[in-house]
Amino acid sequence: MHRTNKGQAIPGVDVSAQVVNCFRAKYPNISLDKFAHFWVTEPAEELAKRYLEKVGKTEDLTNCLRNRFFLESLQGFSVSAKKQSIY
């Protein structure tokens, strides 16, 4: 957590990462994240639930699809790079 100049705690990147991890763990068949469930905590789940109430009920699924897109893009890049390697 980061602190404002008045000493109030505000969520940082670590908190958003925990929330997104909860989303990926909820739909592992879509996110293709087979490890996310290892890092789910009750406080993160509660925060994820509150986030969905504020932002929208489909945001968890959207995050999983985004995660899958980047994973598949990186995997494709890796395969392409190996084919172009001169070694």
Q: How far apart are CA 59 and CA 66, in angstroms?
A: 10
pLDDT at 86: 59
- Predicted TM-score (pTM) of the model is 0.75
- The span from the CA of 14 to the CA of 18, in Å, is 6
**Torsion angle in degrees (nearest 10) through CA of 43, 45, 48, 54:** -80
Give me the residues paired with residue 84 across strands.
none
Give the position of tokens 């925990």: 18
pLDDT tens digits, the chain, 87 residues: what are they? Answer: 544 455 555 567 788 899 999 999 999 999 999 999 999 999 999 999 999 999 999 999 999 999 999 999 999 887 776 777 655
